[in-house]
Amino acid sequence: MFELIPISVEEATAFWQLLLALVLGILLGTERSIVGKRAGMRTFALVAVASCLFVVLGELITTYYLPEANVAPLRIAAAIVTGIGFLGTGIIIFDTELRGLTTAASLWVTAGIGMAVGFGFYAIAIFTTLITLFVFEVLWHVEQYVARHVRMDDQRPEPTVVEPDA
């Protein structure tokens, strides 16, 4: 009575690509959620999956429906980058304050990760995820250390020069 929906090899590959993008987005979003940022696990997962989906759809549509058309995949990538720029702006400007620069930048990276998965560059996507987690975790501590020591240097009293009595 119910037949399975026929799935091509390309579509099955796309399913795995979307799942990988989801997992990588969740990894980055989890860190943002743990540190209490407004854009967290769901936002990062959706950005990665959507970016991957747009790339995969562009390739599938070209393969199935427009084989003779020369659809440049980089146009899709450029549109994704532009769209994420608008999303990032909404994160940065909040209550007339400029905040969330790291979150906005990391959403941009997440879109790139999703695109890398969509184009089939899995190792690059995974490595970029690891680099981003390094930035979140390790560089945060380095930044705090540097800020603490710079503030300490600024709070030191100026040396007093004692003039010898003439």
Residue 1 falls within a domain, yes or no? Answer: no
pLDDT in tens, 38-87: 788 998 999 999 999 988 988 887 777 776 666 677 777 778 877 777 77
115-141, pLDDT tens digit by residue? Answer: 999 999 999 999 999 999 999 889 888
% of the chain surpassing 70 pLDDT: 81
Q: What is the pLDDT of the chain when averaged over all its residues?
A: 82
Q: For residue 4, is it within any domain?
A: no
Tokens 């490595």 locate to: 127
Is 61 among the domain residues?
yes
Does a structural domain hold residue 160? Answer: no
Number of domains in the chain: 1
DSSP string of 31-83, one letter each residue = HHHHTT-SS-HHHHHHHHHHHHHHHHHHHHHHHHT-TTS---HHHHHHHHHHH
Q: Which domain holds residue 75?
A: 9-155
In this prediction, residue 1 carries a pLDDT of 47
68 falls within a domain: yes
- State the pTM of this model: 0.74
**Could you tell me if residue 2 is inside a domain?**
no
Q: Packing angle between helix 41-64 and helix 73-92, nearest 10 degrees?
A: 160
Contacts of 41 (CB under 8 A, 6+ apart): 26, 29, 30, 32, 33
Count how many residues are written for the chain: 166
| Cβ 100 vs Cβ 39: under 8 Å | yes
Helix (H) or strand (E) segment spanning residue 94:
strand 93-94
160-165 average pLDDT score: 59
Distance in angstroms (rounded) separating the CA atoms of residues 14 and 96: 41
